[in-house]
Amino acid sequence: MTGKAKPKKHTAKEIAAKVDAATTNRGGGKAGQSDRLGQDKGGHAKLECPHCKITAPDIKSMQIHHEARHPKVPFDDTKLNDLHAVKVPDSAKPKPGIRGSFKK
């Protein structure tokens, strides 16, 4: 005969993690919409292509994009638009929590 079914016992750490996940803003839904659209500080993307206005998070990704989409135009990193420099972040705004942290 195999082992008996035992009821699952939840630890305090697991319960606290579930409460934290349920009550902390993670940046999704309406709360994170302004960040995804780039209204606050350019969103997660930092650089913008001057030719097609597509965004990239770093210079290496933008260089890969430029070589793939604009091969006839030479790559010049001084012409890229820095979205984080243009739009100043609001430091008074609360940031979404990090998964696994119990800080509010």
Q: How does the average pLDDT of the chain come out, rounded? A: 76
Q: Where are the domains of the chain?
A: 30-86
Which pair of tokens denotes residue 95?
A: 């940031």
Closest of 81, 49, 73 to residue 62, by C-alpha: 49
* Residue 91 contacts residue 5 (beta carbons within 8 Å): no
Report the predicted TM-score, pTM, of the whole model to 2 decimal places: 0.46
The pLDDT tens digits of the residues spanning 67-92 come to 999 999 999 999 998 877 755 555 55
